[in-house]
Amino acid sequence: MLQSMLSCCKLYISESRNSLALQSIERAATLHPDAAIINKFKDEAYNRVGYTLVSPLTENPFFNSPLNEAVVSMVAEAFKAIDLRSHCGTHPRLGVVDHICFHPLAESTLEQSARLAKMAAAAIGQCLQVPTFLYGAAHEEGRSLASIRRELGYFRPNSGGHEWAGGLCLDISRRKPDKGPSQVDQARGVVVIGATQWVDNYNIPVRSTDMTVVSRLAKRVGGRGGGFDSVQALALAHGKDCIELACNLLEPDRVGADRVQLEVQRLAAQEGLVLEQGYFTDFSRDRIIESYLMRKVD
């Protein structure tokens, strides 16, 4: 029964180098013991950290989910500990808390995940007063994460070279947030919250400094360039002499990392590029469930 009623959230914060800030954010989650951080993925070059949290799914409409309580507590602490105006990194971002996504696990449903996403958006937008945008099953028209990001200029570096730095000068008057104010605080930015089926995040290092060529490769791999329709790929500078293909595998049971790796190898050979083996930034769904259940047993 416990396994069938789990909810999952992936929370991405635009910081990885300030250990004190991350410690305070993680302490905020421990105030809600039914929710647990199952995975933490830090990337120094991107200056970004991703957390995967799991809790039992609460169906009683009069009680908030422990997962939501933990997520909102972490978000509130992130806004206290991090100022986007002093942030820089090679991963794009729209705010201190760049992205939150809820996923169904085991026998829970996408509808239940969407309900959690809407509750989190209400708390962050209205209580914390940060513009909040919904996507996927949490949005009434099912708009995509990529469409919101394109509208808000997420994919265009705002600093020298291939880096994002400083606060955001966003005009969101044409795209009214789903929750929260219509003015953007440069220290906090905005938050995008959604609900989707499970997504695998898989990064493939490319030994190159030619962003034009690697960006062309990313486009050819994904659906927008005639590649896999369930793959989104973005070329991002990652350390010295390396550009990564950051891939979202939207239907990993149909098009998984092995197929993507082989296709990228084929296309890279045509461009004369040298690849490394890709890597996941999170555990598999099954391992996440197993890890949470083992914690409860312990």
Q: Tell me the CATH number for domain 200-280.
A: 3.30.70.670
pLDDT tens series, the chain, 298 aa? 455 689 999 999 999 999 999 999 999 999 999 999 999 999 999 999 999 999 998 766 545 789 999 999 999 999 999 999 999 999 999 999 999 999 999 889 999 999 999 999 999 999 999 999 999 999 999 999 999 999 999 999 988 789 999 998 887 877 899 999 999 999 999 999 999 999 999 999 999 999 999 999 999 999 889 999 999 999 999 988 999 999 999 999 999 999 999 999 999 999 999 999 999 999 999 999 999 998 866 5
Distances (CA, A) of 11 to 59, 73, 240: 22, 12, 27
- According to DSSP, the residues that pair with 204 across neighbouring strands are 245
Query: Is there a catalytic annotation at residue 91?
Result: yes
Distances (CA, A) of 135 to 51, 100, 121, 191, 194: 19, 10, 11, 11, 5
C-alpha angle with apex 76: 287 to 117, nearest 5 degrees?
55
In one-letter notation, the amino acid at residue 53 is L
Task: Round to whole Å and give the CA distance between 106 and 285.
Answer: 8
Distances (CA, A) of 67 to 7, 116, 190, 191: 7, 8, 21, 17
Three-state DSSP class for 124?
helix
Written as six digits, the tokens of 261 are 């790796």
C-alpha angle with apex 252: 26 to 223, nearest 5 degrees?
110
What is the architecture of the domain spanning 3-197? Answer: 2-Layer Sandwich (3.30)
Asked if 191 and 124 count as a contact pair (C-beta separation under 8 A), the reply is yes
pLDDT of residue 3: 55
In one-letter notation, the amino acid at residue 95 is G
pLDDT of residue 62: 46
The catalytic position among 32, 91, 99, 139 is: 91
Asked if 193 and 117 count as a contact pair (C-beta separation under 8 A), the reply is yes
Closest of 114, 105, 115 to residue 56, by C-alpha: 105
Q: Tell me the pTM.
A: 0.94
- Ranges of each domain in the chain: 3-197, 200-280
C-alpha angle with apex 132: 91 to 186, nearest 5 degrees?
60
